[in-house]
Amino acid sequence: MRSLIGKKAPAINAPAVVNGHEIVQNFSLDQYEGDKYVVLFFYPMDFTFVCPTELHAFQEKLGEFEARDVQVVGCSVDSEHSHFAWLNQPKNRGGIEGVKYPIIADATKTIAENYGVLGGEYMEDEDGELTFEGAPVAYRGLFLIDKAGIVRHITINDMPLGRNVDEVLRVVDALQHFEANGEVCPANWTKGKDAMQATGEGVSDYLSKH
């Protein structure tokens, strides 16, 4: 599948659980366009092992995302009812009670497919019957979408590999620094460090200081 970088984020219209307790139908990212950045992350399944550590990690940093005008949104192929049940299970029992950002239900797997993170695909066998090859869940994909609805950053981890939420914040900072100052961000850049102009002279000046 071709990369979504620089392209409009695929449309989403699906059920979701919001605020940890409310099921809504027809949830869409369109509500944030022009107002907020979006960090959309996929995880394989509810009621698993690595997944709750990630969902809690995003919740723990939610204030930092909100301070940057970023809306965090989770998504898996489980139903909204599965999400709701997991949200009502305490953390010390493997649940995600306390998570407040929206969690989308991609029961049809079409969202994961459109974003290129579905861990398998439908195939047609010799009898013309559809079969599914691979894992029918999402890889740990993450998409940073700007206020215009354009995908600016993507990471996709295999299922055993949990993400670093601080790295997501760093990339948000880098994008916002570029938008505000027109400066590009070099390797290992963090907020408050020098960036550089995207010209030969600007790069030379930066390198001379480092």
The answer on 195 and 144 residing in a single domain is no
State the CATH number of the domain containing residue 151.
3.40.30.10
In a domain, 48, yes or no: yes
**8-66 pLDDT, tens digit each:** 999 999 999 999 999 999 999 999 999 999 999 999 999 999 999 999 999 999 999 99
The answer on 129 and 206 residing in a single domain is no
Q: Which of 143, 162, 181 finishes a domain?
A: 162
The answer on 86 and 22 residing in a single domain is yes
The answer on 203 and 114 residing in a single domain is no
The answer on 118 and 66 residing in a single domain is yes
In a domain, 74, yes or no: yes
In a domain, 158, yes or no: yes
The answer on 178 and 108 residing in a single domain is no
Strand ranges (E), the chain = 14-18, 22-27, 37-42, 70-76, 103-105, 118-124, 130-138, 140-145, 151-157
State the CATH number of the domain containing residue 204.
3.30.1020.10
169-197 mean pLDDT: 93
The answer on 134 and 64 residing in a single domain is yes
In a domain, 2, yes or no: no
The answer on 152 and 188 residing in a single domain is no
169-174 mean pLDDT: 97
Provide the pLDDT for residue 205.
55
**137-162 pLDDT, tens digit each:** 999 999 999 999 999 999 999 999 99
In a domain, 1, yes or no: no
CA-CA distance, 191 to 210, in Å (whole number)?
16
The answer on 85 and 35 residing in a single domain is yes
The answer on 187 and 98 residing in a single domain is no
In a domain, 3, yes or no: no
H or E, element range at 11: none
CA-CA distance, 203 to 197, in Å (whole number)?
7
Provide the pLDDT for residue 199.
65
3-state secondary structure of 24: strand
3-state secondary structure of 63: helix
Contact 78, 51 (CB under 8 A): no
The answer on 106 and 21 residing in a single domain is yes
Where in the sequence is the domain holding 46, given as residue range(s)? 14-162
Q: Which of 124, 147, 162 finishes a domain?
A: 162
Query: Hey, which residues are catalytic here?
Result: 51
The answer on 169 and 66 residing in a single domain is no
DSSP 101: S
Report the domain count for the chain: 2
